[in-house]
């Protein structure tokens, strides 16, 4: 039996591990997302991995050869402009329990959404404590966002996840484990600098916006607040003061939340509101009309139940979808 190394020099590409890279992150950067590629990579580089199977920054690694088989995608279609209406979000991005994504109807056909969960990579964002365990903003914002992506795709929308975690998927656990392997769309390492991170993210949104010229396009940024621990807050919506489409979108989502809270908790007033916040980088610089949402206070015990219960995270995603649908169909 010939060893793998006998073929390495001439038949495999090489990639240099960067700071923050894991095996999944490195492979994602080169479009090698599936489990077989991970297994091949580890086999090819078994002598160059750390004792725990990690990468060494600056070291060169062999990349598996891309399969000639067509990659599995959630769905595909074309707009009248000839642009794919479903970016190739791999099924694995949603996790085994939530893939593939069925297309239930075409209610959002022609709509393009850029979903931007807060922070990620080296920056976990706000931190709360729940029963002695730390809760990270980026993990919970991401889980709501990936759930929203799935719902939007079920109804025929084109969806771009501006932050992706190659191995988390949709998670139903109460405590979402913190990690730092998220990447920026399309395959970019997320920098620690917030300004540089948001600049790269919005540059990609605006590049895609130009590709989809003429289509209905919206940016949704989801964050979790970190106010004083005693402050219980509702979901708040921010828009650019000079963008009427962003204001209308925020109002449509807010209207759904007001109605759903009234039905789910009739004895509890809902105080979330819509307001201007032109200083927010994503809201200010996105060419697509944008809404920036704060989903609650991760340091408040009452608000934490909004995040640690998986059904509540799904409800947040469903309610946002309803608002997006109302905005799209009422345009």
In a domain, 80, yes or no: no
* HEC string for the chain: CCCHHHHHHHHCCEEECCCCCCHHHHHHHCCCCCHHHHHHHHHHCCCCCCCCCCCCCCCEEECCCCCCCCCCECCCCECCCCCECCCCCEHHHHCHHHCCCCCCCCCCCCEEEEEEECCECCECCCEEEECCEEEEHHHHHHHHHHHHHHHHHHCCCEEEECEECCCCCCCCCCCCCCCCCCEECCCEECCCCHHHHHHHHHHHHHHHHHHCCCCEEEEEEEEEECCCCCCCCCCEEEECCCCHHHHHHHHHHHHHHHHHHHHHCCCCCCCCCEEECCCCHHHHHCCCCEEEEEEEECCCHHHHHHHHCHHHHHHHHHHHHHHHHHHHHCC
Whether 173 and 230 share a structural domain? yes
What domain count does the chain have?
2
Whether 321 and 211 share a structural domain? yes
Average pLDDT of the chain to the nearest whole number? 86
Least confident among 73-87, 290-304, 312-326: 73-87
In a domain, 84, yes or no: no
In a domain, 74, yes or no: no
Integer-rounded Cα radius of gyration of the chain: 21
pTM over 0.95: no
Whether pLDDT at 134 is above 90: yes
In a domain, 278, yes or no: yes
Segment 197-220 shows an average pLDDT of 97
Whether 133 and 39 share a structural domain? no
Query: At a CB cut-off of 8 Å and minimum separation 6, what does 45 contact?
Result: 61, 62
Whether 297 and 153 share a structural domain? yes
pLDDT at 227: 65
Whether 149 and 278 share a structural domain? yes
Whether pLDDT at 265 is above 90: no
Segment 252-264 shows an average pLDDT of 92
In a domain, 81, yes or no: no
pLDDT at 11: 57
Q: How confident is the model at residue 68 (pLDDT cuts 50, 70, 90)?
A: very low
Whether 58 and 94 share a structural domain? no
In a domain, 286, yes or no: yes
Whether 32 and 149 share a structural domain? no
Whether 124 and 177 share a structural domain? yes
Q: How confident is the model at residue 229 (pLDDT cuts 50, 70, 90)?
A: low
What are the pLDDT digits (tens) for 84-103? 444 457 777 999 899 889 99
Asked if 8 contacts 65 with a C-beta cutoff of 8 angstroms, the reply is no
Whether pLDDT at 186 is above 50: yes
Whether 112 and 216 share a structural domain? yes
In a domain, 68, yes or no: no
CATH number of domain containing 315: 3.40.630.40
Whether pLDDT at 21 is above 70: yes
Whether pLDDT at 7 is above 50: no
In a domain, 2, yes or no: no
Whether 118 and 58 share a structural domain? no
Whether 170 and 57 share a structural domain? no
Whether 35 and 152 share a structural domain? no
Range of 52-56, 254-258, 268-272 with top mean pLDDT: 254-258
Least confident among 80-89, 179-188, 195-204, 284-293: 80-89
**Domain containing residue 43:** 14-62
């Amino acid at each position: 039996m010939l060893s793998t190394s006998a073929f390495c020099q001439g038949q495999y590409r090489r990639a240099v591990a960067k700071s923050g890279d894991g095996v999944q992150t490195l492979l994602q950067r080169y479009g090698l997302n599936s489990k077989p590629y991970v297994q091949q990579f580890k086999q090819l580089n078994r002598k160059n991995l750390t004792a725990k199977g990690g990468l060494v920054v600056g070291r060169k690694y062999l990349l598996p050869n891309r399969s000639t088989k067509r990659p599995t995608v959630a769905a595909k279609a074309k707009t009248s402009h000839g642009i794919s209406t479903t970016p190739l979000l791999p099924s694995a991005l949603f996790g085994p329990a939530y893939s593939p994504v069925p297309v239930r109807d075409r209610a959002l056909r022609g709509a393009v959404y850029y979903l931007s969960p807060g922070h990620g990579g080296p920056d976990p964002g706000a931190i709360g404590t729940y029963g002695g365990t730390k809760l990270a903003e980026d993990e919970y914002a991401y889980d709501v966002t990936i759930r929203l992506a799935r719902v939007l795709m079920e109804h025929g929308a084109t969806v771009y996840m501006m932050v992706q975690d190659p191995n988390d998927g949709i998670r139903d656990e109460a405590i979402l484990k913190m990690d730092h392997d998220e990447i920026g769309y399309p395959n970019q390492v997320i920098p620690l600098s917030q300004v540089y991170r948001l600049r790269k993210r919005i540059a990609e949104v605006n590049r895609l916006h130009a590709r989809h010229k003429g289509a209905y396009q919206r940016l949704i940024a989801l964050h979790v607040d970190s106010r004083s621990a005693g402050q219980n807050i509702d979901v708040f919506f921010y828009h650019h003061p000079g963008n009427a489409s962003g204001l209308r979108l925020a109002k449509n989502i807010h209207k759904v939340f007001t109605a759903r809270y009234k039905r789910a908790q009739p004895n509890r007033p809902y105080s979330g509101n819509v307001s201007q916040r032109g200083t927010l980088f994503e809201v200010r610089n996105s060419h697509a009309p944008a809404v920036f949402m704060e989903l609650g206070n991760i340091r408040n015990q009452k608000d934490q139940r909004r995040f640690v219960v998986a059904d509540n995270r799904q409800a947040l995603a469903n309610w946002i979808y309803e608002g997006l649908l109302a905005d799209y169909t009422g345009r």
